[in-house]
Homo-oligomer: A and B are copies of this chain.
């Protein structure tokens, strides 16, 4: 990190002057990720020129670190031969991700020029649905036959390493590609030369299916601390591997989606500034509209109780306090439970445990806020009955918020939906009506005596 900052002035100067040759010298010592970060400010045309001047393999390594949209934009400024070269050098999963970003017409015009092996690979990987293990995996894994000696395996490794994304796990397969076991490079290096792979490999390795959702894959990585996980088809044949860096990207992406949903935004799928303005406005507008229409009920409730508060206008002063207190406690519960479900601290079978805990906690927090609310009401010289109504309504609404915020995500999960689609604003809206109904019913009861 410090390295890239030290180079920053030199780099910006060279870029401004268009001095590509001295850029190459500066970039020589920089990590491809740092270079890619420095390039993000430039036009795709400039980036294309720099990728070209960096040559193979540095140019490819930098290109790989650019985000997909930038990669696609850069390609439009490169010739067909250069494009084909880059596509062939990319790892199979990155290659397919990029091809998915390009117009179909462009892909059709590029495919015939790619080598047969890469072309077949692209066709195979393109068929897997988005967000599946198949779409995430690379086909460049290192495999070994079971009856080989350690010495022979080490020799073979030199041959297959250049075309393998990782050689730290070696996959032992039979001739039909059925996965028999796994041996790590660590184990291989430490074994005796004469030992047979079959005898030292781990059997019955943990695998994921090519159809599995990427979220499940990410969870497997968080749980098992693997560097890579093998992907098998229905016949238990090895079809690819997913490496931890791709799983890490999924974890970060899923987290982003959860935060956006919690804030009532349909997930963006792209970085904030790259999301089209109209698309973002639509995504937000839709949720705002839904919440707005739901909130109509609160308005209706307020209208329904007009007689109650028209006689004691001071009641109205406390409406925002009551609504926001319910929304806030609901927001707390929904965040706690959604995150608990995401990391596995809370499970569906804990439903009643959660309900009990949130109910008791909600009552305690509600009584606490209710007490303070009563003091506030008293300080505004409200009649005793209004003070009591405010106190009871606050206690009720905070309890309801806590309970509803905890139950809604669990119920969603129960019916097989993603609990994370339950946003905090939705819970708040749900609680608002409850708050108004409690408040004015209590007030009606107390003020009529």
| A residues in contact (CB < 8 Å) with B | 1, 3, 29, 31, 33, 37, 154, 157-158, 161, 167-168, 185-186, 189-190, 203-204, 206, 208, 216, 220-225, 227, 244-245, 248-249, 251-252, 255-256, 258-260, 262-265, 268, 271-274, 277, 280-281, 284-285, 287-289, 291-293, 295-296, 298-299, 302-303, 306, 309-310, 313, 316-321, 323-325, 327-329, 331-332, 334-340, 343, 345-346, 350, 353, 357, 360-361, 364-365, 368-369, 372-373, 376, 380, 398, 423-425, 428-429, 432, 436
Contacts and interface: CB of A to CB of B under 8 A. Distances in A.
Contact of A272 (B29, B303, B345): B345
A161 to B, nearest CB: 6
A251 B255 CA distance: 10
A424 B268 CA distance: 18
Nearest to A296: B376
Nearest to A368: B285
Contact of A320 (B206, B259, B298): B298
Contact of A321 (B272, B280, B296, B324): B296
A265 B335 CA distance: 8
Most buried by B among A208, A260, A331: A331
Contacts of A337: 272
Stoichiometry, as copies per complex, reads 2
A367 to B, nearest CB: 11
B365 A328 contact: no
A346 to B, nearest CB: 5
Most buried by B among A186, A320, A321, A332: A320
Contact of A262 (B206, B263, B268, B372): B263
A353 B228 CA distance: 40
> What are the nearest 3 A-B pairs in CB distance?
A263-B335, A271-B345, A225-B245
